[in-house]
Structure 1
């Protein structure tokens, strides 16, 4: 808990403003947040997510094929790749399809125009303004931040304009965010569409890539867990009988989902979470008889810390042990699911959770089915954690992995 008198930006500008209409993340007013959230909720219903499955399956198949082709180019039919970068390219291409109707081919062409790096650099803004709220107004004038913010704005304007001109050709995420038939009969303002598009790209691509990389890292660092998962994948999706893309089957795979839960527990994509504070003018908020939060006090509930607390997860809260999620009848295992909050909790939780979990299941199962995988020779597994940086979402380093096609 920290106290900061200038905790919020004052005035009419920015996501921290009191009238931040259309800001899903920045809205402080509950009614405004609920209004923004309704549009996003429609975009992540069970039926809507079902519409997204073909888009994700196509991109996951492309990821596997691109990696297989690079193996085939090598004499030994194996290749060392930076899996961290490949998974980031996958999520960027997929979210580009979801938000802008396509146009991105990082898996095939690489980051030729630097837009992926611009998106990543754009996360410096929430990283700084989260801790020093009033600095948000100065950030555009700082060269190392301002140029990325400008490039990101130009990129979003170009893509949103193109998407609006082309119209809806499929029920993708943008179709729902555009909200062509709003309840009040008023069209969604262009600035709100822009804000939603950028939010979707940043939140959907970067956080999912981090989650995929963390899960892959833990599996590669624990060969016994990887072998156990491969047995489950092969039993559920025999290699000669198709790809692991059946969402219902994937959701029912106990060990796959235990591995995902455990990776998200140890390294949640957003390790610190957003600030909260008592309502202005309330003087304080009483959490319990022993705990009162005074007005002007910024409060964090960091998932990274909570999810490693031995009071909620034991034994070995710092160890990757997927079996803890399967030991519901073992009295020696403490597993408090109320303390498991990688997607936050409550009315402001992560609305994109269903799509993120679908991506984790499909991509991990696909990679495990198609490739033998190991960390590159000479790579110290400790480097992965050492190179993670908390810039609102985790920023990650390289993950060198040797891939060999299984068939």
Structure 2
């Protein structure tokens, strides 16, 4: 009997062989056909055959660090999925995400759609252009300056709450269960991460919807959603629905982990994976997070319709309502809500994570914190006799506080909140990157985490927090740094709110550091532990604070 006949006989007699052979064929035939000509690209063995490898890595919460270690092992070009290549060079960043190159977002972004497609997750080029025209005007320099008093208001609230905690701590007090602060040795020791979250959510609540979530004053992670679900009607003032409160920060984190991991899977796999408990919990977080935007928008529209608008009318939602596309059409209600959700997510998680990381690095690097204290004392003297009011937009202009901007940039570089490579599809005609020709349909990405640690750009001390690396750059070095630094992405899909985000960080960091001294606790592990969903987030940052009198 021939070898082939033997195999066929086994398959007929033992169905398990059929499944096994089918499974091997499912994996190996696409690999051997090499439709995208990636056989020569190095990478993990399993990643070459199945998207499940990258999905597994993503679920673990350390995707960027894992991909970074692969680049250290294999070089600047690494295959991380059957049809996904990670390229970690500054030139690749400028090529893959460039204006006019025809590259579109991959189906990774479909996993981030909840209400309907928004500016972030729409993949159609024309639809994105329409949305960007509707949204980008709200982040003009004039609009951003209008928001400054509201940013300062909530920074002021945070300073007030910390003053209360500090005074209680000096008297030997400690926080109630769940608050976790304690006074000791002339300092108050506490986790600043929750407070960074409260601050960011209250600011974006005010800027986006005209009213805060009230997290700072409550000292609690809480936001309202319709108790009866997203379909409840809030437009009729006589038919108010019951409201329930959810832990918005926790749910936002769950949503990011779910969507990023789900996005790694082929679309045909996703309905089945939603049945797995971990993914099912993430899908529930997606719905709950959408409920926050639905509630906020409906309350806002209800107040407008009833004439009882108790919130200001210069917020982002008002500006979105006033926007018109090229045909003179405003956004519909679902689209308005979807864009409001995008603003909520983009304006909260990124700011809170970055603020926490910067405070951690300053606490870990006393030399840098001292230099920033000296700059702030010199350039922004406190006119309030020690009351510690927030700084103003005039105070934080770059020519007055260059070291502040250097500290923020260095924190954004090392922590890299948006760290993973954002996937793009090679367009018709192909694309050449790093001397390699990639065919149409190949997925490429550039990991910010890795290029932010490129020693040829940042030096051999790239892992260290050293703000001075941003100062006194010659023109050639400045061009290289600018080409590599990627906290807000680049090209036509870059973050539209980057000016607002940076202004928030300037006011927050300057105000907190001018008022407080931050130290890490002796004998406690000094590394900032993180977990990555779509964004890399700190898991906590316990520091000692002392008022600078």
TM-score (norm 1): 0.89
Give the corresponding residue for 1:392: 534
Does structure 2 conserve the Cα–Cα contact (< 8 Å) formed by 1:211 and 1:269? Answer: yes
Q: Give the one of 292, 306, 313 matched to 1:170.
A: 313
Partner of 2:182: none
Deviates more, 1:323-332 or 1:22-31: 323-332
**Cross-structure match for 1:251:** 397
Aligned to 1:234: 377
Q: Secondary structure at the match of 1:404?
A: strand
Q: Is the contact made by 2:107 and 2:263 (CA closer than 8 Å) also made in structure 1?
A: no
**Equivalent of 1:160, from 277, 292, 297?**
297
The change in CA–CA distance for 1:144 and 1:15 in structure 2 (over 3 A counts) is closer
Deviations 1:57-113 (A, max 9, x none): 101111111111111112166322211111011001111111222141111111253
Q: Which residue of 2 aligns with 1:307?
A: 452
Deviations 1:130-176 (A, max 9, x none): 32252554566543123212222323222211112223733211122
146-155 vs 136-145, greater mean Cα deviation: 136-145
Q: Which runs of 5+ in 1 are unaligned?
A: none
Which among 106, 112, 118 is matched to residue 23 of structure 1? Answer: 118
Q: 2:221 aligns with which of 111, 114, 120?
A: 111
Structure 1 stretch 218-227 or stretch 27-36: which is displaced more?
Answer: 27-36
Q: Which residue of 66, 86, 91 corresponds with 2:195?
A: 86
The CA distance in 2 between the partners of 1:149 and 1:292, in whole Å, is 38
C-alpha RMSD of the superposition: 2.8
Q: Work out the number of aligned pairs and report it.
A: 397
CA contact (8 A) 2:203 2:212 kept: no
The C-alpha deviation readout for 1:242-291, integer Å capped at 9, x for no partner, is 74522233132110011111111112111014210113xx2632346x22
Structural mapping, 1:55-66, within 5 Å: 55-66=150-161
- Name the counterpart of 2:430: 284
User: SS in structure 1 opposite 2:314?
Assistant: coil
Q: TM-score, normalised by structure 2?
A: 0.67
Aligned match of 2:284: 147
Match of 2:516 in 1: 371
**Separation in structure 1 between the aligned mates of residue 547 and residue 431 of structure 2, nearest angstrom:** 57
Mapped partners of 1:21, 1:283: distance in 2: 31
| Native 8 Å contact 2:293 2:344 kept in 1 | no
Contact 1:177 1:193 in 2 (8 A): yes
Q: Which segments of 5 or more consecutive residues in structure 2 lack a partner in the other structure? A: 1-78, 85-104, 173-185, 223-244, 305-310
Based on CA coordinates, which of the two structures has the bigger radius of gyration? Answer: 2
Shift of 1:335: 5.3
Where does residue 49 of structure 2 map in the other structure?
A: none
In 1, the alpha carbon distance for the partners of 2:107 and 2:360 equals 38
3-state DSSP of counterpart to 1:347: helix
SS in 2 for 1:171: coil
Q: 1:339 to 1:243 in 2, by over 3 A?
A: same
Q: Distance in 1 between matches of 2:266 and 2:521?
A: 41
Structure 2 CA distance for partners of 1:215 and 1:145, relative to 1, 3 Å:
same
* Whole-angstrom distance in 2 between the partners of 1:246 and 1:254: 15
Q: CA 1:261–1:178 in 2, change beyond 3 Å: closer, same or farther?
A: same
Distance 1:129 1:202, change over 3 A: same
Q: Does 1:322 align with 2:467?
A: yes
